Amino acid sequence: MCGRLSQYRGIHDFVAALGMPNALANSTGDQLFERYNAAPTTQLALFHQEGNVLHADMVRWGWRPHWAKDRAAPINARVEKVAHGPFFRAIWPHRAILAIDNWFEWVDEGGPKKQPYLIRYQDQVPILCASIGQYPNADHEPSEHDGFVIITADSAGGMVDIHDRRPVTLSPELAREWLDPGTPKERAEQIVLLQGEPTEAFEWFKVDRAVGNVRNQGAALIAPADPALL
């Protein structure tokens, strides 16, 4: 996963996609997010659960442990290692869901510049990405060190031609189980290792190269590219 995504709907659209009747502690506001071209370090709306309460907070995309000061903050964590490696040990218990509308990948097709592709569900419902992080909760006030990473897995099928890694995306039922503090860590690991949504649920298409500039925003970035301009 190359590190660019869209989160343009509002928090209540994403809550509806999760299908959680829980009380909502919302710190993100009620307006549309309108982030069509979000890059690492962007503050994004992130869900986590405390007791029976669903929390939505703006959290920076990217995290590293305090002892890893000599390296950039990763934005993704490989599902094969995340539960047992030392780097993410501190935040593995802190499960979250990043709800997005789509993500982007760049493909070398032999031209002067790589071609961006947009990837989304075929039915265009929100995508629920398994994540972990350090974020505000009952025992932790907001901190400059807060952040999150998206868990990724190997791509399969035709998506391999777009990129070899992709987010681990969950059905609403599994996303709720992932968020539930009562879900054992062993079960959580099995969810992300074995039960992510299949490639067949997605579609992808070329978009305008303007998405390559992080300063560009707007709905035009998520529209299929005009073949005459490619």
Average pLDDT for consecutive 10-residue bins of the chain (230 residues)? 92 96 93 97 97 96 90 93 93 97 94 93 98 88 90 91 93 98 96 95 96 96 82
How far is Cα 23 from Cα 205, in angstroms, rounded to an integer?
37
Asked if 107 and 117 touch (Cβ cutoff 8 Å), the reply is yes
List of residues 6+ apart from 99 with CB closer than 8 A: 7, 14, 17, 18, 45, 47, 126, 127, 128, 129
Residue 95 has a pLDDT of 98
Residue in this structure with the two tokens 């059905």, named with its chain if needed: 171
Residue ranges per structural domain of the chain: 5-229
Quick check: is 129 catalytic?
Answer: no
Residue 228 has a pLDDT of 62
Residue 110 has a pLDDT of 84
List of residues 6+ apart from 83 with CB closer than 8 A: 92, 185, 188, 189
> May I ask the CATH architecture of the domain 5-229?
Alpha-Beta Complex (3.90)
Quick check: is 2 catalytic?
Answer: yes
Closest CA to 47 of 137, 125, 158: 137
Residue 140 has a pLDDT of 78
Residue 230 has a pLDDT of 61
How far is Cα 218 from Cα 93, in angstroms, rounded to an integer?
36
Q: Strand, helix or coil at 145?
A: coil
For 225: left if phi > 0, alpha if psi spans -120 to 50, otherwise beta; the answer is beta
- Kindly state the tokens that stand for 34: 């309108």
How far is Cα 44 from Cα 40, in angstroms, rounded to an integer?
10
34, 80, 105, 173: the active-site residue: 105
The sheet with strand 202-206 has its strands ordered as 35-38, 5-7, 102-107, 115-121, 202-206
Residue 143 has a pLDDT of 82
